Amino acid sequence: MARKTMDDELDTSKEDETISKESKTVSKNEKNQQEKAEEINEKIEEIREVIVEKKTGFNYLEVILIMIITLIIGGFFGGTVVKLTNKQTAVSKDGAENSQYQEFIDTYNDIKKNYYEKIDEDALLDAGIKGMLEFLGDKYSVYMDQEETDEFNEQVEGKYEGVGVEIVQDENEHVSIYRVFENSPAERAKLKAGDIIQKIGAEDVTKKTTAEISEMIKKSTEKKVNITILRDGELKEFTLERESIDIESVAIKTFDVNKKKIGYIAISVFASNTEEQFSKKLKELEKEKIDGLIIDVRGNSGGYLNKVTDIASMFLEKGKVIYQLDTKGIVEQIRDESKEKRDYPIAVLINKGSASASEILAASLHESYGAYLVGSASYGKGTVQRAYTLESGATVKYTIQKWLTPEGTWINEKGLTPTHPIDLDMKYILDPKDENDNQLQKALEEVSK
């Protein structure tokens, strides 16, 4: 199993290394065996979201009004239509001014005009938005500044701005290229795995970390980046043009077990490009005439709701319930509307790091398809978020719904219970290869019967 995350791309197939694409940090020989066990068995990623939608271009006052509406309307779901006049006044559907909203705006304007010291107006609005989000008491409802927004968008969009390499730092603190992405600027320039990075532009980077080198490449104001590497004792300089790089979130392989061919497909995150990658990889496996399938979402912390919906729909019969959404007590069943389906046995690998969208997929395939759930209990995240990006580049994200399993169970703070519970063996943690992955082996055993 090679688990990757959008934050630090942990590659457990290499015992002592944490591999990173340009923006990742690598540590080596820093963790003892217990820490490694916790890292693999209990690692919880920061996304941990089911994002129902993202909207952009809202100004501060529009988002403040959206948040006030969320807090005040509550039980009057669907009962009020709110719009903004050119004076930023909240108006109800009958045209009457809503004093609750206007009070907020009047207070903001009064402070801005009369406070005895100079005020940063943007910071004041930020504080107002943050205050409303904190009032909700929901750890998934947050305000993210522009830098946090950029990191979040990279995770859920499955893209980043760079040259297309993964880099690693060894025990001698040399930063070298671990992998070159296909169809990337790095591949076209003929950079190779093993090249040791010496300079970025004119600056010596031999004493810098992978994270620092990554930032230099990604945050460069220049479209082109000069990279000097050491290869076979010789310095070579390459000029690469930065571009948007697709992050691979799906990986496949096959196993021959009990005279059957079993496909394996790992999903690291449900990004905007994951469904397309998954469909392509699944068809590749099926061309090999697989008799069963293992879907590995261990360590997968979530992503877009529509992407997990599309993936589940590839397997279920038309009309089957994928999941349910509870919006202020109004429950809607989301059913498979596609003609596509499968009928071979499936096992889904889960662990404590499987959250949100991963849990939706696992629950859907278990309850509406009959898939096995193998591993340890999942994280237990049963809510759905909406994200609004402000004109400033910051983002407001808050919870709008609960999601329920096809049978109507809310797994929040409980998680999914495996049909075949099994903790990851320490043998795998010390020597990470497939034959030592007892969770994978159990899944292979079940789908090959």
- Does the residue 372 lie in any domain? yes
- Cα 158 to chain center, whole Å? 8
Please tell me which residue, 106 or 24, carries the higher pLDDT value.
Answer: 106
Based on the fold, state whether residues 308 and 442 are members of the same structural domain.
Answer: yes
- Does the residue 148 lie in any domain? no
What's the rounded mean pLDDT across residues 377-389? 92
Whether the model clears a pTM of 0.85, i.e. scores above it, the answer is no
What's the rounded mean pLDDT across residues 244-266? 94
What's the rounded mean pLDDT across residues 267-275? 94
**Residue tagged active-site, from 381, 397, 402, 442:** 381
pLDDT of residue 146: 81
Query: Is 28 a residue whose pLDDT tops 80?
Result: no
C-beta of residue 434 within 8 angstroms of C-beta of residue 296: no
Total domains in the chain come to: 2
pLDDT of residue 245: 85
User: Is 236 assigned a catalytic role?
Assistant: no
For residue 62, what are the domain limits? 43-141+248-449
Q: Which CATH number goes with the domain that contains 234?
A: 2.30.42.10
Phi then psi dihedrals of residue 440, to 5 deg: -60, -45
Query: Is 74 a residue whose pLDDT tops 50?
Result: no
C-beta of residue 315 within 8 angstroms of C-beta of residue 275: no
- Does the residue 183 lie in any domain? yes
Based on the fold, state whether residues 48 and 102 are members of the same structural domain.
Answer: yes
- Does the residue 193 lie in any domain? yes
Please tell me which residue, 41 or 49, carries the higher pLDDT value.
Answer: 49
What's the rounded mean pLDDT across residues 418-440? 95
Based on the fold, state whether residues 126 and 206 are members of the same structural domain.
Answer: no
- Does the residue 2 lie in any domain? no
- Does the residue 154 lie in any domain? no
**Residue tagged active-site, from 358, 376, 385, 448:** 385
What's the rounded mean pLDDT across residues 364-375? 98
Q: How many Cα atoms within 13 Å fall on the side-chain side of residue 162?
A: 26
pLDDT of residue 76: 34
Mean pLDDT of the chain: 81
Q: Which CATH number goes with the domain that contains 331?
A: 3.90.226.10
pLDDT of residue 13: 30
Based on the fold, state whether residues 265 and 172 are members of the same structural domain.
Answer: no
Q: Which of 39, 60, 209 is nearest to 122 (CA)?
A: 60
- Does the residue 4 lie in any domain? no
Residue with tokens 């070579």: 236
pLDDT of residue 112: 86
**292 band by pLDDT with thresholds 50, 70 and 90:** very high
SS3 224: strand
**Residue tagged active-site, from 268, 356, 368, 441:** 356
Please tell me which residue, 94 or 195, carries the higher pLDDT value.
Answer: 195
Of 228, 246, 264, the domain-final residue = 246
141-170 tens-digit pLDDT? 888 888 788 878 877 888 888 899 989 887
**363 band by pLDDT with thresholds 50, 70 and 90:** very high
Based on the fold, state whether residues 287 and 404 are members of the same structural domain.
Answer: yes
Q: Within the chain, what is the greatest distance between any pair of CA atoms?
A: 80
Based on the fold, state whether residues 301 and 380 are members of the same structural domain.
Answer: yes
* C-alpha–C-alpha distance, residues 359 and 381, integer Å: 8
Q: Which of 164, 219, 218 is nearest to 189 (CA)?
A: 164
∠ CA(50), CA(48), CA(402), 5° rounding?
45
Query: Is 26 a residue whose pLDDT tops 70?
Result: no
Counting residues of the chain whose pLDDT is more than 70, the rounded percentage is 78
pLDDT of residue 37: 47
∠ CA(345), CA(348), CA(349), 5° rounding?
140
pLDDT of residue 378: 97
- Does the residue 431 lie in any domain? yes
pLDDT of residue 68: 56
Of 186, 215, 246, the domain-final residue = 246
Please tell me which residue, 128 or 408, carries the higher pLDDT value.
Answer: 408
Mind giving me the DSSP string for 315-347?
TSPTT-EEEEEEETTEEEEEE---S----S-EE
Based on the fold, state whether residues 235 and 166 are members of the same structural domain.
Answer: yes
Beta-strand relationship, 50-58 and 383-390? parallel
* C-alpha–C-alpha distance, residues 14 and 23, integer Å: 19
Based on the fold, state whether residues 179 and 115 are members of the same structural domain.
Answer: no
CA atoms 319, 322, 324, 325: torsion sign: negative
pLDDT of residue 183: 85
Of 217, 246, 275, the domain-final residue = 246
pLDDT of residue 46: 55
Query: Is 303 a residue whose pLDDT tops 70?
Result: yes
Based on the fold, state whether residues 350 and 401 are members of the same structural domain.
Answer: yes
What's the rounded mean pLDDT across residues 371-377? 98
pLDDT of residue 377: 98
Please tell me which residue, 14 or 94, carries the higher pLDDT value.
Answer: 94
Query: Is 376 a residue whose pLDDT tops 50?
Result: yes
Out of 140-154, 275-289, 344-358, pick the least confident.
140-154
pLDDT of residue 416: 98
pLDDT of residue 47: 57
What's the rounded mean pLDDT across residues 182-197? 93
Q: Which of 190, 192, 184 is nearest to 162 (CA)?
A: 184
Based on the fold, state whether residues 302 and 229 are members of the same structural domain.
Answer: no
Out of 178-182, 294-298, 402-406, 415-419, pick the least confident.
178-182
Residue 360's identity, in one-letter code, is I
User: Is 356 assigned a catalytic role?
Assistant: yes
pLDDT of residue 228: 96
* C-alpha–C-alpha distance, residues 217 and 151, integer Å: 15
Residue 434's identity, in one-letter code, is D
Based on the fold, state whether residues 434 and 321 are members of the same structural domain.
Answer: yes
Based on the fold, state whether residues 365 and 308 are members of the same structural domain.
Answer: yes
User: Is 392 assigned a catalytic role?
Assistant: no
Query: Is 79 a residue whose pLDDT tops 70?
Result: no
